[in-house]
Chain A
């Protein structure tokens, strides 16, 4: 079979190079003109626990994960046990020849809940495998091919060729051997893989040459010794300029081009990758422009905690600097008092909020989408805030820029919600277009604007927006306070001032609601006529779109309303779309259907069906498809809970 659709997975203990193998695999496929979508799963652990990267390759753009694997590429015994049932009939499993004798229930890193589930599955299937080899023999009956590769023998050959006496120095290259076998089995053009290895290992010629040697050895071994996999991954000709990146990189790129010049953070998964990428690129290149500048840079500050992070960003924002912080749920929990200060002082600070499994420490490295209500309501009292949510990696880029525009236009904190699935997924995209980016700074004054006039930082205006001046502007001063205050920024507890000042701040939200176009706040997909309307937010976007497309081919027409601005909620638009809907379905990654609740609160409209998930894994297009199909066939319960994921 020759195909341009292929699902590959690399699995192994953390620290064994699963990520770099997946990165090389993804890039090599991209180089061959294919589109790639990769999902990364890992434990909150440095070394030893299981991790995997699930990569979907296609000639068409793909935006979601699926439930099956064509070729499972494992570095250790556990990865075979963990994923064996996911391999599709006709697929294959690559494993370490030395792992065949490993007794399944002696694998020390398999946790009890997994073992219990696994035993149940074996009972259902009526099989009793003792070892990994036994297990593989069982799946062979389902038309799954298995390839036991002598990684150590191959490694020894590499060691001899390069004159390295210590084999332990080379064990890190098992991932490249596994890659070589994978590509050999699908007969993929090796030059693309070599190019990917050269790119990933950059300026380290010795490492590159050793890895290339290992790659070739494994590639040839697969072709000569492993027989026919029956599957050829073909390349596609393309002239399109494409990039391959993960969500945290897209946000960072958006922040830089959007003018962010100070970012604070406290280390937390999965947000920290963004700040590190920014720091690596702290000295900025500038375009040829009439604007004179003696150099651009971003200060990235690792703070002592998230309390410092948000307040430091606010301090910088007061000076007219575009400033942001990036965090996850536990960090945002610490930021809430600072958020209120920024709201009360009308500070345009941006918080990039990567949701993960919660509450508390929750699932630190796993997906979750349960912080919408928290983002909307965090901090005591009432103040305006804008909450955005991106649905894919490209939106992460453009929303990161918009977040600053809204923050400065409405002088209020903006929370940009992302989630772990977007943060750590990798995807190929058509090159982002910097030409589409526009910077809007709102009513930002300069010294010349206020010369000789009295300046009131919190002046009452019809829109609620008081023209802003950077702290440090010459010949003027102003005050800020977390207390209620007068127009100058001095403390005031007078009832009339309190009434007016709070109302002034809140009015900005009405102004934003009126001014921001609906195109920036929702995405609407689907045919003009439809028999159901799906509402969702965040990373389920890709899975929903793909499921819809499959259902459309089966004759079910659906609408999809993706909400990108969650506050202020475009409620008239949503109400209008839902009033017409025949079936109203919400799809979101939490237990209590938070978006559905918010829509009901603000429009009075209740959803008919709930498709929910909170197992710490993103939604796959397969399971969303199954759930939606049941609804369309009138066979679904009101509430379906998705559980796919390993």
Chain B
């Protein structure tokens, strides 16, 4: 029987602020799971700490709500131990790019086959609106005592440099588009990153839904707002690497696209490269039985508790008499 949207819902009350972009992200995740018909028990959603982090409790799948900034290592551990799991990591701009920045970069080196969603709203919502690592220099969102004294970082550029092999951006209020991007991320063979622009109606009064929608910029010809967001795929941009020769030019093209912000913000896939071997493949080269018998599936003892691992060869190497 086909899985329906209700199969991915839990009875837990969703306690985000009214109008929060997280609702759109939650819907997009659930819709992507329906479209891909992934059984809930095959999916594990990991989150850090912050508003985003409650998401796993609202999805009927394995949900692991971890520590501030540490969601990637937890997820990597589970995925390495059980590569059959479909692992989705949700993190925030503070969680993933501030306190968890070291893990964000180093996970890129490994190209583990999982999908990372960054809820990016420019603020630390749950602690009442402090500036996050993505808030631009000089901006003063509602609860900041002074304008932001730090420059905002560029997650797309960092992800490229770190080695993510699928990098995309979505928008929390364009749920259909976001769902499609998430599906592509899940289907990607390797480490996928999706940065999701997400208005925070409570604390970010600058990058609002209206701002993204361009309601301050009315086209005199049509009388309609000119949205700041545009879709990469509608411009003929193709970030997919098809051959080794394309790797560098497409990397550079993505890096160029990553610089766009302000009046023109691209969403869609910046870069995708499946030529890079996944971590699972790298392990399998060293341990041929890895995929057939990963750590979580290995028996370690018989029914009586006798170990089935033999260390005799190693003991033999250490043997000095007898």
- List chain A positions with a Cβ less than 8 A from chain B: 27, 30-31, 33, 238-245, 249, 253, 256-259, 261-262, 264, 281-287, 289-299, 301, 303-305, 307-309, 311-323, 337-338, 341, 428, 431-432, 434, 437-441, 470-483, 489-491
Contact = CB atoms under 8 A, between A and B. Distances in A.
A78 B12 CA distance: 70
Given A286-B309, A308-B73, 18 more contacts: A238-B322, A257-B310, A285-B311, A293-B293, A295-B292, A301-B80, A308-B102, A312-B73, A312-B74, A315-B79, A434-B311, A434-B312, A438-B305, A441-B301, A477-B61, A479-B63, A481-B57, A481-B65
Most buried by B among A31, A238, A312, A320: A312
B293 A262 contact: no
B315 A479 contact: no
A473 B62 CA distance: 10
B296 to A, nearest CB: 4
Q: What are the 5 closest A-B residue pairs judged by CB atoms, nearest first?
A: A315-B77, A295-B289, A241-B322, A259-B300, A30-B320
A285 B311 CA distance: 7
B12 A341 contact: no
B2 interface: no
Nearest to A290: B302
A104 B147 CA distance: 64
B78 interface: yes
Given A314-B77, A472-B44, A491-B54, A299 B312 contact: no
A293 B300 CA distance: 9
A290 B299 CA distance: 11
B146 interface: no
Given A293-B299, A295-B293, A312-B76, A431 B319 contact: yes
B64 interface: yes
B57 A491 contact: yes
A257 B309 contact: yes
Given A293-B299, A439-B306, A479 B81 contact: no
Contacts of B19: none
B286 A282 contact: yes
Contacts of A241: 319, 321-322
A316 B306 contact: no
Most buried by A among B56, B105, B288, B311: B311
A478 B64 CA distance: 9
A322 B66 contact: no
B85 interface: yes
Interface of B: 10, 12, 39-42, 44, 46, 49, 54, 56-57, 60-67, 70, 72-82, 84-85, 102-103, 105-106, 283, 286-290, 292-293, 295-296, 298-302, 305-315, 318-322
20 contacts: A31-B320, A242-B320, A244-B320, A245-B318, A253-B314, A256-B311, A256-B314, A259-B300, A261-B300, A283-B287, A284-B309, A287-B309, A291-B301, A296-B309, A308-B70, A311-B77, A321-B82, A323-B295, A471-B62, A478-B62
Contacts of A473: 41
Given A431-B322, A470-B296, A311 B73 contact: yes
Contacts of B54: 491
A338 B70 contact: yes
A257 B40 CA distance: 34
B41 A476 contact: yes
Given A315-B78, A428-B320, A482-B67, A439 B295 contact: no
B311 A253 contact: yes
Contacts of A477: 40-41, 60-63
Most buried by A among B70, B76, B105: B70
Nearest to A293: B299
Nearest to B320: A30
A287 B320 contact: no
A285 B102 contact: no
Contacts of A283: 286-287, 289
Given A249-B318, A262-B80, A491-B54, A299 B302 contact: no
A239 B81 CA distance: 43
Contacts of A27: 320
A490 B14 CA distance: 12
B322 A239 contact: yes
A195 to B, nearest CB: 10
B264 to A, nearest CB: 35
B105 to A, nearest CB: 8
A311 B66 contact: yes
A475 B62 CA distance: 11
Contacts of A313: 77
Contacts of B102: 304-305, 307-308
Given A243-B319, A286-B308, A287-B310, A439 B296 contact: no
A89 B103 CA distance: 58
A472 B62 contact: yes
B311 A242 contact: no
Nearest to B71: A311
A282 B314 CA distance: 12
B11 to A, nearest CB: 9
Nearest to A308: B73
A287 B309 CA distance: 6
B70 A298 contact: no
Contacts of B61: 477
Nearest to B87: A315
B72 to A, nearest CB: 8
Given A287-B310, A294-B292, A261 B65 contact: no
A378 to B, nearest CB: 15
Contacts of A298: 295
